[in-house]
Amino acid sequence: MDLILCHTTADFDALGAAVGLTRLLPGSKIVLTGGSHPPVRDFLALHRDEYPLIERRSVNPEKIRSLSVVDTQKRDRLGKAAEWLDLPNLKEIIVYDHHLGQESDISATRSHISAVGATTTLIVERLQQQQISLTPAEATVMALGIHVDTGSLTFDQSTPQDALALAWLMEQGASLSVISTYRDPGLSLQLQQLLTEALENLEYLCLHGYTLAWVTIKTEGFVPGLSSLASELVELTEIDALLLANEYAVGESDSRLTVIGRSQIPKTNLNLLFQLLGGGGHSQAASLNLRQVDSQAILKQLLDGVKTQIPHPPTARDLMSSPVRTILPETTIAEAQRILLRYGHSGLSVVDTQGQLVGIISRRDIDIALHHGFSHAPVKGYMTRNLKTITPDTTLPQIESMMVTYDIGRLPVLENEQLMGIVTRTDVLRELHQNSAVSGSGAFSPFPVLSSESQSLLTNQHLGLRMELQNKLAPQLWQLLTTASQEAEKRGWHLYLVGGAVRDLLLAEASGTLMIKDIDLVVDGFHKSADVGAGVELASSLQQLYPTARLEIHGAFQTAALLWHKDPELDSLWVDIATARTEFYPYPAANPEVEASSIRQDLYRRDFTINALALRLTSPRAGELLDFFGGLLDLQARQIRVLHANSFIEDPTRIFRGVRFAVRFGFQIEPQTEEFIRYAINSGVYDRTSQENSRTPALQTRLKTELKHILEAPYWKSALQLLDNLGALQCIHPTLKLDVEVLRQLRLLERCLRRFDPQPTLIHWEMRLEALIAHLAPEYRAKVAKNLQLQEDSIKRLQNLASAQTEVMESLPKCQSPSQVVQLLRQYDLPMLILIAVQSLQEIRHQIWEYLTVWANVQPLLNGNDLKKLGYKPGPQYRQILDDMLAATLDGVIKDKTEAEKFLAQHYPK
């Protein structure tokens, strides 16, 4: 007998999952282990015969072969049926659940646990995989399970998977009228009476702009449907969080306590709080059942826990962009438009000569003025003067209210009448969206491409991301970041770990062993006291604390770097510290012009979403993860997505970085990003900008750096093939393609490098690049090498390759003896011979190979000391003598020292 167990007080999700599971396990039966929710009870009163339900008391335990448990991982939620889990005749125990982060006490042989909105969704996915169809009755109860547990896809834990599962169940014939009847059946008479009582006794507390309420109701016995009562209380009172406690007696001496928790406050997690007392659920909906406890003490413990979780609402100081791009009232409309275009703003703040705000002009105002031909007019004639402003401490709810009330798209932030920053609608929407995403598991989970540690990190990031960082990083690296954050806090600045280090942290498998070699830190604090040199100042202070580090300062880019080389603790580590900045490319492929800005603008200037993540290291919100552009979702989708459409036009090296990341992580380049790449390459913009500008660093030094990263990596072949598929090798030269001949030459090159330079003494990535360039027509080779600023010997080698190859190909077949081969080839160094070999026919290549493996290693049987002992006076003739003896040795004329001395006496008598 195969049984499917629903937890006590079964809800529609447990029942729906169990019904679906009977189709996956033909012949299995469903056991309701102890009652059900009132709507489930009413539903089964009419539909029980549609499903294979049996009573617990009718089960013969000796005949049970397997148990499947749905919607729980706890034994105590199975009532007396939990005893069956210990039966010796069981062959299998399978658990299906959607509550992450719970410690299961069921010894399951298999577990299927994923962060979806309903357990039923997990079963639907398996039914779809096996192409199993349902009856309308089965589809209906399963759809009810998803509807009720996700609030018809409105609860934060809802995921796209739940929506897809519901759509499929509708295709299977789920009855919408039945779903409508039982999804929200209303409150029973008893619950209506308790609702009145609860409303009269509800206690409130306002904290950080949120309203928390709690109430205790006493009843004579257990009351089913308390979760519906809790939901009704939240809806009627519009509170942000609720704790509903129910005390009741069982018999004369046994007291029970049930607590239902609901929260709509971002970043709270009731599941964690309730688990501490043996309960659990979701981050925003949880419950517990206890017996013979002090109910008020339990309620106070939970209340205190919720208080500690309630976050401080973001303020204008956290949201605003700073410093603000400002113009004077006399600035012309045309100049204002140029500034908007350069920085991508939707409006500009207008200040007087004392720096005080006098107005704001929007893009729409400027467009209208231009339309009417007033490009020469000053902006003061078009700007808005009646302004609403806020202070740095204005909270997000207040900002949102002002924007809605006055229909304002941007609010200047003033402190002591000075313009400190500006908050736009985009800032508010981004923050609200981020809170929504973080508050529930739906946006970040399931996360199948990440390790289990990273899944936990994402799910509970607002409570433990900083601790996760500490656990994952090597202790000495964590100490360095801690010291840096403390130095930043002393100066009133924010400090962020940004870019690839955050990405690698999220992808890391191990704990406590991650030793990142390249770290980027960004200082953001202009609204406090930081200036343009904040990054340099912080780096200098750290260098005093770490005197073994070398400090490098790059003033043009407002950055500093700390470098350790083979340090006993930090090994070879590179830490870049920059002030938050924005950048502007004066023309494609140029070096960007940078200006101080905010952390948001700093992240926006980066290449791909997975590299535009930031982790705040400083208090009070240490551990906060900034993800403004969907980087986490792209990690989930295993894709490389660019931040904006002109990214590759401005900087072609991003194409090479994108390919490198895609191949390194096994990701795909997102389709639209690939379109942007192909458009940039096919547009001819790189050719035009090279002709119009003498300096194009993104096609010169920066391109060489990216090629170095690719060609020295173990995945270089796959990366080159992807670059060729995208047409990106044209960035090196318009005629360069990875055809069959180039691939053959690269394979030969690797054989040569393994055979002739195993240690290695040559720089192998440069040799691969030289081999690529050598495939170009001879007139282009040196020019490309100079453009990429290769080493001087590489440039000369590529410049002389054609003539050297011609000489070898013409002369080598004429050589009649090994000595003639040696005389011809020894004038070329090893890299040149390798390049010639890989481009030559097999006969030529064979002779070069034999020269390098055999003949180049042959030495004359006598040396200079031997000649001196034999009475020959040192002089220029030594060289001729030794050369002739080497030739004779190579050609087999002499085979030992005796024959060498005879040869010497015959050809060079004293």
pLDDT tens digits, 504-540: 888 876 555 677 889 999 998 644 444 667 888 999 9
Predicted confidence at residue 900, as pLDDT, reads: 85
Which H, E and C letters describe 67-100, residue by residue? EEEECCCCHHHHHHHHHHHHCCCCCEEEEEECCC
**What order of strands is seen across the sheet that includes strand 241-250?**
203-207, 210-219, 241-250, 254-263, 285-291, 280-281
CA 103 to chain centre: 28
Evaluate if residue 480 carries a pLDDT over 80. Answer: yes
Predicted confidence at residue 468, as pLDDT, reads: 66
Predicted confidence at residue 435, as pLDDT, reads: 55
Let me know: does 114 contact 14? Beta carbons within 8 Å: no
Mean local confidence (pLDDT), 55-63: 92
Beta bridge partners, 419, equal 414
Predicted confidence at residue 907, as pLDDT, reads: 84
Alpha carbon distance 724, 888 (integer Å): 50
Nearest to 321 by CA among 443, 199, 422: 422
What totals of helices (H) and strands (E) does the chain contain, helices first?
Answer: 38, 28
- For the segment 338-374, what is each residue's pLDDT rounded down to a tens digit? 888 877 777 889 999 888 899 999 888 899 899 889 9
Predicted confidence at residue 780, as pLDDT, reads: 94
Total-model pTM: 0.65
861 pLDDT band, cuts 50/70/90, is confident
Alpha carbon distance 59, 3 (integer Å): 9
Find all residues with CB under 8 Å of 518, minimum gap 6, and list them.
Answer: 500, 501, 573, 574, 576
Alpha carbon distance 896, 779 (integer Å): 49
Percent of the chain's residues with pLDDT above 90: 52
Alpha carbon distance 839, 797 (integer Å): 14
Predicted confidence at residue 136, as pLDDT, reads: 94
Alpha-carbon distance values, 327 to 85, 386, 778, 804 (Å) = 74, 17, 54, 63
61 pLDDT band, cuts 50/70/90, is very high
Predicted confidence at residue 416, as pLDDT, reads: 86
- Pairing relationship of beta strands 550-554 and 581-584 according to DSSP bridges: unpaired
280 pLDDT band, cuts 50/70/90, is confident
Alpha carbon distance 617, 738 (integer Å): 45
Angle at 671 between CA 667 and CA 677, to 5 degrees: 95
Alpha carbon distance 429, 433 (integer Å): 6
- For the segment 378-436, what is each residue's pLDDT rounded down to a tens digit? 999 999 888 899 999 898 888 988 988 888 888 999 988 888 888 988 888 877 766 55
Predicted confidence at residue 443, as pLDDT, reads: 32
Beta bridge partners, 178, equal none
- For the segment 17-48, what is each residue's pLDDT rounded down to a tens digit? 999 999 999 999 999 998 888 889 989 988 99
- For the segment 225-279, what is each residue's pLDDT rounded down to a tens digit? 888 899 889 888 889 999 999 999 887 778 999 999 999 887 788 988 998 898 8
Predicted confidence at residue 437, as pLDDT, reads: 47
Predicted confidence at residue 408, as pLDDT, reads: 83
Least confident of 53-67, 307-321, 592-606, 825-839: 592-606
Evaluate if residue 479 carries a pLDDT over 50. Answer: yes
Helix (H, G, I), strand (E, B) or coil at 549: coil
Predicted confidence at residue 774, as pLDDT, reads: 95
Predicted confidence at residue 462, as pLDDT, reads: 40
Nearest to 713 by CA among 762, 636, 659: 659
Let me know: does 61 contact 82? Beta carbons within 8 Å: no
- For the segment 749-779, what is each residue's pLDDT rounded down to a tens digit? 999 999 999 888 999 999 999 999 999 999 9
Predicted confidence at residue 454, as pLDDT, reads: 38
Predicted confidence at residue 630, as pLDDT, reads: 87
Predicted confidence at residue 225, as pLDDT, reads: 83
